[in-house]
Amino acid sequence: MASFSLQGIPVSRGITIGRAHLLRPAALDVQHYLIAQEQVEEEVLRLQKAIAQVQRDLQSIWSELPTDAPTELGAFLDVHALILSDPMVSEAPLDIIRTRHYNAEWALVTQIDALSAQFDEIEDAYLRERKADIAQVAERVLKILTGTAHQLPRAMGVDERNANMIVVAKDISPADMMQFRDVSFTGFVTDEGGPNSHTAIVSRSLGIPAVVGLGNASHLIAQDDLLIIDSDAGVVIVAPSPLLVAQYRDRQAIFLKAKKKLGKLKKTPAITRDGVEISLFANIELPEDAHAAMEAGANGIGLFRSEFLFMGRTGANHQLPTENEQFIAYKQAVEMMKGRPVTIRTLDVGADKPLETHEHNILNPALGLRAIRYCLKEPQIFMTQLRAILRASAYGQVHILIPMIAHAFELEQSLAMIAQAKRELHAEGYAVAAQVPVGAMIEVPAAALSVAMFVDKLDFLSIGTNDLIQYTLAIDRADHEVAHLYSDTHPAILQLLEMTIQAAQKAQVPVAICGGMAGDIKLTRLLISMGFRELSMPSALLPEIKQEILNTNITQCRPTVKKILRSFDPNAIQKLLNQLRGQVCD
Ligand code: PEP
Ligand code: MG
């Protein structure tokens, strides 16, 4: 096979070489063709066999359920088996083959589409939701028919092939990404997604090479194709020559060696050449990520994206996490950090992190009911979370961070609810830390332009540059079509950062950066010379940012940084940034 390469958007670091594992919804790839009269019964048999195979698979999953599995799980499998034996699913497509001569896949999809349309009409929400079960059952049958019914290998490094698996997909939802955490795979490649889409963020926090926004990769790459991902360059090479593989293996070895060397900095404090100490924090999505944060030598957790506890909950687990479940998760992170601060951001759902239970504005979700807006509309969900966070505060240093604040009343209502949660917990006899600092994310331009409106009521600020860029430049961060417009050094962004730090310094309130800019080594000198003293980033990036800080002299950088902040010429800004990075410090 001829080699070719694809250019996408880099979202992580490093190089990986492995075999493609395609994750493609089978329904999208169904072939449509008409069959001859004499082939009809053969085609009918093919579909019957696939349905029987899925029935057997469901039974075997049932019989292998551990004895302590939740009863809902069995019930869930029963529903799927029932759907599959319903004549509307198992018989009607056979009639379509016989009467219209459609191939088996087409016949099944036609019948499922017709059923789905009927389900859309149903008033009862529970019954309407069964449409998803029907789609899942049909998907299983289609995967058998199309021969794509591979399971993701679960055993880490059991054999050479599994250990070097690269997931290729149209898109992977952040919730699905979380499932891959237990699976052995060494890279991922998607057609969609932008540099700071939440899917990209999860891959970065897993520390594995990835390229997103490739447009058509999942159609150009075939199952088991050999791939090289050069994630620094955002390039995927398909079917590389042995010579190229050898060259990339060398580069991979150099990268891994450098990474190992950086690991030795774990206990070194991040102090610049001219003696300024910078606190480096980690961003985490799940409590167990705190382990990587400790390994990287983080000073604490600067951003715990708590919404990942709420997403991707299906089957027996589909309810939102209870107060106790959340409390256990937060307490786990707090205990793992051994007294270091843990900044728990309250639920930031919506946009590219939808809740399964939450209907959102499909036209413009990023501008819809997201983050604090959602929480204030659903006060019970918010109160449950605040109680869980406050209970965890008795086990270490907990900070509460409120996302997407834009209005004074949003902050006032949030603070009132935190105070109420504290009162309730005290009355119920729960321990709560005497001090639980509350901060807000500055990630909507309105907030950056009016920091003075909030700052007196807050203990700290944290700038979410991913959203600040999205909302300032009016580009959907998850849309690869506009990813080229995503610019973190646009003068408007630099001005907003500068305004925020000035206002925070005036009010003597600490201000961190927890968006992607904090982990971008090209910007480290700029940010710390502007006065930022706290940066929070994926654990995997922390060592190299620390190395850069150790090599920086802020006093020497300041004149160039002043010029950058005064400039409104993108080319000049870029030149000055390059100059800043190339500067040799003494
Ligand atoms: C941000 O917007 O920069 C941020 C840190 O939050 P998230 O990426 O989760 O939206
Ligand atoms: Mg954000």
> Where do the domains of the chain lie, and which CATH numbers do they carry?
1-245 (1.10.274.10), 268-582 (3.20.20.60)
Which residue owns the Cα nearest ligand 1 atom 10?
467
Catalytic residue IDs? 198, 514
Pick from 301, 307, 441, 444 the residue to mutate for probing ligand 1's pocket: most ligand atoms within 8 Å of its CB: 441
Which residue owns the Cα nearest ligand 1 atom 8?
466
Distance 307 CA to ligand 2 centre (A): 11
Which residue owns the Cα nearest ligand 1 atom 9?
305
pLDDT of residue 314: 59
Q: How many CA atoms lie within 13 A of 435 on its CB side?
A: 5
For 290-305, how does the pLDDT look when each residue is reduced to its tens digit (9 = 90+)? 999 999 999 999 999 9
Q: How many CA atoms lie within 13 A of 482 on its CB side?
A: 12
Which residue owns the Cα nearest ligand 1 atom 4?
464
Choose among 395, 376, 396: nearest CA to 386.
376
Ligand nearest to the CA of residue 462, numbered in listed order: 1
Kindly state the tokens that stand for 283.
Answer: 């961003």
Distance 378 CA to ligand 2 centre (A): 19
Q: Where are the alpha helices (DSSP H) in 318-407?
A: 323-336, 371-377, 379-392
- CB contact at 8 A, 447 and 454: yes
Q: What is the rounded CA–CA span in Å between residue 193 and residue 211?
A: 9
Length of the chain: 586
- List, in order, residues 6 or more apart from 531 with CB less than 8 Å away: 501, 505
Pick from 198, 204, 285, 305 the residue to mutate for probing ligand 1's pocket: most ligand atoms within 8 Å of its CB: 305
Which residue owns the Cα nearest ligand 1 atom 6?
464
Distance 476 CA to ligand 2 centre (A): 12
Distance 488 CA to ligand 1 centre (A): 14
- Atom of ligand 1 at shortest distance to CA of 403? 6
- CB contact at 8 A, 320 and 301: no
Helix (H) or strand (E) holding 513: strand 511-513
Which residue type is seen at 431? A
Residue 541, class by beta-carbon neighbours within 10 Å (0-12 exposed, 13-18 middle, 19+ buried)? buried
Low-confidence ranges of the chain (pLDDT < 50): 150-162
- Atom of ligand 1 at shortest distance to CA of 470? 2
Choose among 564, 572, 477: nearest CA to 526.
564
Query: CA end-to-end span of the chain, whole Å?
Result: 52
Residue showing tokens 């270490």:
396
Distance 439 CA to ligand 1 centre (A): 14
Helix, strand, coil percentages, rounded to 5, for the chain: 55, 15, 35
- Atom of ligand 1 at shortest distance to CA of 196? 8
- CB contact at 8 A, 372 and 364: no
- Atom of ligand 1 at shortest distance to CA of 443? 2
For 373-426, how does the pLDDT look when each residue is reduced to its tens digit (9 = 90+)? 999 999 999 999 999 999 999 999 999 999 999 999 999 999 999 999 999 999
Other beta carbons within 10 Å of 220 = 15
pLDDT of residue 103: 92
Q: What is the rounded CA–CA span in Å between residue 377 and residue 124?
A: 24
- Atom of ligand 1 at shortest distance to CA of 201? 8
Q: What is the rounded CA–CA span in Å between residue 503 and residue 547?
A: 29
Distance 442 CA to ligand 2 centre (A): 9
Residue 120, class by beta-carbon neighbours within 10 Å (0-12 exposed, 13-18 middle, 19+ buried)? exposed
Pick from 345, 374, 443, 535 the residue to mutate for probing ligand 1's pocket: most ligand atoms within 8 Å of its CB: 443
- Atom of ligand 1 at shortest distance to CA of 515? 3
Ligand nearest to the CA of residue 198, numbered in listed order: 1
Kindly state the tokens that stand for 586.
Answer: 């003494």
Helix (H) or strand (E) holding 3: none
Order across the sheet with 15-23: list the strands: 4-7, 235-238, 226-230, 15-23, 165-169, 187-190, 210-212, 9-10
- CB contact at 8 A, 368 and 406: no
Ligand nearest to the CA of residue 514, numbered in listed order: 1
- Atom of ligand 1 at shortest distance to CA of 463? 3
pLDDT of residue 154: 39
Kindly state the tokens that stand for 143.
Answer: 């995967």
**Crossing angle of helices 40-63/104-121, nearest 10°?**
60
pLDDT of residue 27: 62
Pick from 514, 520, 534, 537 the residue to mutate for probing ligand 1's pocket: most ligand atoms within 8 Å of its CB: 514
Other beta carbons within 10 Å of 110 = 18
CA torsion through residues 218, 219, 225, 228, sign: negative
Helix (H) or strand (E) holding 92: helix 92-100
Distance 466 CA to ligand 2 centre (A): 6
Kindly state the tokens that stand for 101.
Answer: 């001569």
Distance 461 CA to ligand 1 centre (A): 13
Ligand nearest to the CA of residue 307, numbered in listed order: 1
pLDDT of residue 193: 83
- Atom of ligand 1 at shortest distance to CA of 464? 3
Distance 464 CA to ligand 1 centre (A): 5
Which residue owns the Cα nearest ligand 1 atom 1?
464
Pick from 346, 348, 463 the residue to mutate for probing ligand 1's pocket: most ligand atoms within 8 Å of its CB: 348
- CB contact at 8 A, 326 and 385: yes
Overall pTM surpassing 0.85 (yes/no): no
**Ligand 1 site, CB within 6 A:** 201, 303, 305, 348, 443, 464-467, 514-515
Kindly state the tokens that stand for 330.
Answer: 């937060």
Distance 465 CA to ligand 2 centre (A): 7
